[in-house]
Amino acid sequence: MSLSGVCVTAVESRPAGVIGTSQSPSHRPFGARAKAFVALTKPRIIELLLITTVPVMFLAEQGVPDLGLVLLTCVGGYLSAGGANALNMYIDRDIDALMDRTSQRPLVTGMVSPRECLVFGITLAVVSTLLFGLTVNWLSAWLSLGALLFYVVVYTMILKRRTSQNIVWGGIAGCMPVLIGWTAVTGSLAWAPVILFMVIFFWTPPHYWPLSMKVKDDYARVGVPMLPVIASNKTVARQIVIYSWVMVAVSLLLTPLGYTGWFYTAVALVAGGWWLWEAHALQNRAKAEVTGAKLKEMRLFHWSITYVSLLFVAVAVDPFLR
């Protein structure tokens, strides 16, 4: 999932070059500094990652997993994703200074220096890997580290500024928590987490592209070729519909393979049906060449968060109803 900046909104743009220099150490109070370091981890994005991690642990256990294990997995996952997000901000600090929606990030305002951010991100990466390996298992640790490296190196450093497929393949990092949650309980992989991995893979583009449609001028200004920057709204909406249909179809594979029962199936059908309704509605507005606020692209973005939350709650609840 790119998850880069999905839930961060800002209102002030800054000129190029104003990065990490606007505040001296004497003007950076401790409380504000602490909040800034928390902001480097992008907590609201990590909420989504944990929403997909914990329910899979219930599915793997077919009941209530060890709560201590759940806590350790959540802490390790937060630290790992937080480290990845901090390193993402370090690498993207140049374009963050030019985009309205990221102009209040800690490195841009100078609340955190680039060096501090780099050390912070690397420290979280090391600590999270060791925490996973020593308290959960090493398979989960390597999956977590792999997700971090994929997000930082493959997405942020290689794909993001080079291809409109950046969020498609870069989103693999956001799919990894379902594998981590499953392996934390079982110590091995199976088809169930792979299917849920694919659900998140196909969910990520139609989740993120509506937001990119809304802020495409920001991306165009800094030369990041998000799909809405280089393609028409009609093309983007058509891609959203295609990915949405595949996502819903994949989400229904768990039941015939015996991993879930009637409750999950019902939620997947209803929530997926509503998603498809919204996706096709967006496509119809795009075909009619509706622009501006009337395009209502953010309806699908907001629903996408509700959808993934409902689907994974159903994953956790289903074992108790079978």
- Distances in Å between the alpha carbon of 102 and those of 5, 92, 201, 297? 7, 10, 25, 20
**What is the average pLDDT value for the chain, to the nearest integer?**
92
Quick one: 310 and 201 in the same domain?
yes
- Residue 166 in this model has a pLDDT that exceeds 80: yes
- 6 in a structural domain: no
Quick one: 137 and 195 in the same domain?
no
Quick one: 38 and 154 in the same domain?
yes
Please tell me the predicted confidence (pLDDT) of residue 48. 87
**Cα-only R_g, the chain:** 20
Quick one: 145 and 35 in the same domain?
yes
- 16 in a structural domain: no
Quick one: 133 and 259 in the same domain?
no
Contacts (Cβ under 8 Å, ≥6 apart) of 48 = 1, 3, 174, 305, 308
Quick one: 119 and 162 in the same domain?
yes
Q: What is the percent of the chain with per-residue pLDDT over 70, rounded to a whole number?
A: 92
Quick one: 112 and 159 in the same domain?
yes
- Pair 298, 210: CB distance under 8 Å: yes
Quick one: 206 and 317 in the same domain?
yes
CA distance 49 to 308: 10
- 304 in a structural domain: yes
- Pair 213, 228: CB distance under 8 Å: yes
CATH of the domain at 162: 1.10.357.140
**Domain with 217 in it:** 190-321
Token pair for 96: 């963050």
- 317 in a structural domain: yes
Total domains in the chain come to 2
**Residue 39 DSSP class:** H
Tens-place pLDDT, residues 207-238: 999 999 999 999 999 999 999 999 999 999 99
- 13 in a structural domain: no
Quick one: 149 and 195 in the same domain?
no
Q: Among 170, 203, 233, which residue terminates a domain? A: 170
Burial class (CB in 10 A: 0-12, 13-18, 19+), 100: middle
Q: Among 137, 170, 203, which residue terminates a domain? A: 170
Quick one: 160 and 36 in the same domain?
yes
CATH of the domain at 306: 1.20.120
Residue range 153-177: mean pLDDT, rounded: 96
- 176 in a structural domain: no
Tens-place pLDDT, residues 59-75: 999 999 999 999 999 99
Tens-place pLDDT, residues 90-129: 999 999 999 999 999 999 999 999 999 999 999 999 999 9
- Pair 240, 284: CB distance under 8 Å: no
Contacts (Cβ under 8 Å, ≥6 apart) of 189 = 179, 182, 183
- 205 in a structural domain: yes
CA distance 17 to 38: 24
Tens-place pLDDT, residues 137-164: 999 999 999 999 999 999 999 999 999 9
Quick one: 49 and 108 in the same domain?
yes
- 10 in a structural domain: no
Quick one: 211 and 96 in the same domain?
no
